[in-house]
Amino acid sequence: MAEKEFEPLGPTILVHVELPQAKNQEDLEELHRLAESAGSNICDAIVCRRDGIEPRTYIGSGKVTEVADAVKAHDAKVVIFNSPLTPAQERNLEKEIGVRVMDRVALILVIFAMRARTYEGKLQVELAQLRYEQARLVRGWTHLERQKGGFGLRGGPGETQIELDRRALRERISAIKEDLEVVARRREQNRQERKKNAVPVVSFVGYTNAGKSTLFNRLTSSKVYAADQLFATLDPTLRNMVLPTVGKVVFADTVGFIRHLPHELVAAFRATLEETIQSDLLLHIIDIADPRIEDNIEAVNAVLEQIKADQVPTLLVFNKSDLKDDVAIGIVRDETNKPIRVNVSAKNGLGLDDLLAAVSELLTLDQCEFELKLGHQDGKLRAALYELKALEVKGYDEQGHELVSVKLKPSDAARIEKLSSGRLSACLINHQGTLPWVQEESFDFDDID
């Protein structure tokens, strides 16, 4: 795929519409930051209060004139609306204002296109952009209604330009989907290999610019790009770590979430979001110094629910805790002594040992413990348990059988039971009742709405 050069949006006018049924006043500040992330030089922000949406221009003729005057006064090149616009509204606004008009979804797509670095990321962004443009071909541009006659049909009816463009979009979307399926299969193979080796995955999630990448770099000694801007990183990054009581663990840094995450992006980033769903533990990174902390947490939880990852065990990580005098660095536990939150400072490296200790504790929380008696014929079973670092030798009996203590997750125990053809159950010592493991249910990403 050829590299694309993205120029900054330049001088920009923001338009924020307040409606009685929508409580989105806080989104104006977020729109500022989104626009700055796209390279905008914000000249003015126009706030419009309306009882309802004007079908033709969204904001009405009076406000359109005000926006057009602001564009001329500041020599702006772009007008960005903090609301979704229909293709007709976008066309009418561009005609009357005289410069490029985009809505919030288009702005986010521009930022994602600028940030994508990997082949998969670029494909996902292009897919989201094409789906967005596909909807805009419905009534988008009258200049696409020219007729094009076929060979031997001079002057006769032919395929209109808009039909040609629709077909080209459909074909490109189909080709990208096929390419993404190949990437998805490769990702699934890697995921199954990790499951086979019982390597737990810990995914970083959180509101964009909460400090996920900075914390990820601190913990894994990586060099993932981190900056004080929205969507500084887009492509997922996986790194291996070894925790003392767990063994090998995969940490995954994912794209940040925002309020009202466009459905086009959720659909396009299916493979990336699937990594979150399949995780053993989520680290929800939260900027404790952000005055909108509760809204940010709610926005992330809404996206996790949308992609059906809300059932994955989650540990809250309050970042930038050094900026709060009343917050102590370290682990916060519930009434059962289970870690529910860790206060850290990624920038200063404070509380990271506590965070790793809490992660280790939660990853081993549901382990079942039992004892086995292994004979000379159980080499395969013994090797599998050693590989998982789940086996501790206690001694030998009079017949020379090896007596061992085992700690395993139920899902890992079920897998080893299958691989060893039932030898795990056969080697149990003094166990009565239900076996201490169950087979995991599989998850189908296609169930997502």
Identity of the residue numbered 360: S
Give yes or no: residues 158 and 286 share one domain. Answer: no
Give yes or no: residues 156 and 252 share one domain. Answer: no
CATH value at residue 80? 3.40.50.11060
Give yes or no: residues 298 and 393 share one domain. Answer: no
Residue 303: per-residue pLDDT: 81
Contacts of 215 (CB under 8 A, 6+ apart): 204, 285, 317, 319, 344, 346
Q: How far apart are CA 345 and CA 355, in angstroms?
A: 11
Residue 234: per-residue pLDDT: 56
Residue 414 lies in a domain: yes
Residue 173 lies in a domain: yes
Give yes or no: residues 218 and 109 share one domain. Answer: no
Q: How far apart are CA 121 and CA 129, in angstroms?
A: 12
3-state secondary structure 55-116: CCCECCHHHHHHHHHHHHHHCCCEEEECCCCCHHHHHHHHHHHCCEEECHHHHHHHHHHHHC
Give yes or no: residues 207 and 345 share one domain. Answer: yes
Give yes or no: residues 354 and 244 share one domain. Answer: yes
Give yes or no: residues 421 and 292 share one domain. Answer: no
Identity of the residue numbered 50: R
CATH value at residue 219? 3.40.50.300
Residue 57 lies in a domain: yes
Residue 101: per-residue pLDDT: 95
pLDDT in tens, the chain (449 residues): 444 555 778 899 999 998 886 554 457 888 888 898 888 999 999 998 888 899 999 999 999 999 999 999 999 999 999 988 998 999 999 999 999 999 988 888 888 888 777 787 788 788 888 888 877 765 444 444 444 444 444 444 555 777 787 888 889 889 988 888 888 788 777 767 766 666 788 999 888 778 888 898 899 886 654 554 555 455 567 888 888 778 788 898 876 777 766 666 666 566 566 667 778 899 999 999 988 899 889 888 988 887 788 888 999 999 999 999 889 999 999 999 999 999 999 999 999 999 999 999 998 877 778 888 898 888 888 888 887 777 888 888 888 889 998 887 776 787 788 778 888 888 888 765 556 554 444 334 344 33
Give yes or no: residues 347 and 264 share one domain. Answer: yes
Q: How far apart are CA 45 and CA 16, in angstroms?
A: 7
Neighbours of 341 (CB within 10 A): 16
Give 374-388 as a DSSP string: E-GGGHHHHHHHHHT
Residue 124 lies in a domain: yes
Give yes or no: residues 232 and 344 share one domain. Answer: yes
Number of domains composing the chain: 4
Residue 247: per-residue pLDDT: 78
CATH value at residue 374? 3.30.70
- DSSP symbol at 26: T
Could you tell me how many helices (H) and strands (E) the chain has, helices first?
Answer: 14, 16
Among 95, 113, 131, residue at a domain's last position: 113
Give yes or no: residues 402 and 320 share one domain. Answer: no
Residue 443: per-residue pLDDT: 38
Q: Which domain holds residue 283?
A: 198-363
pTM: 0.70
Give yes or no: residues 229 and 352 share one domain. Answer: yes
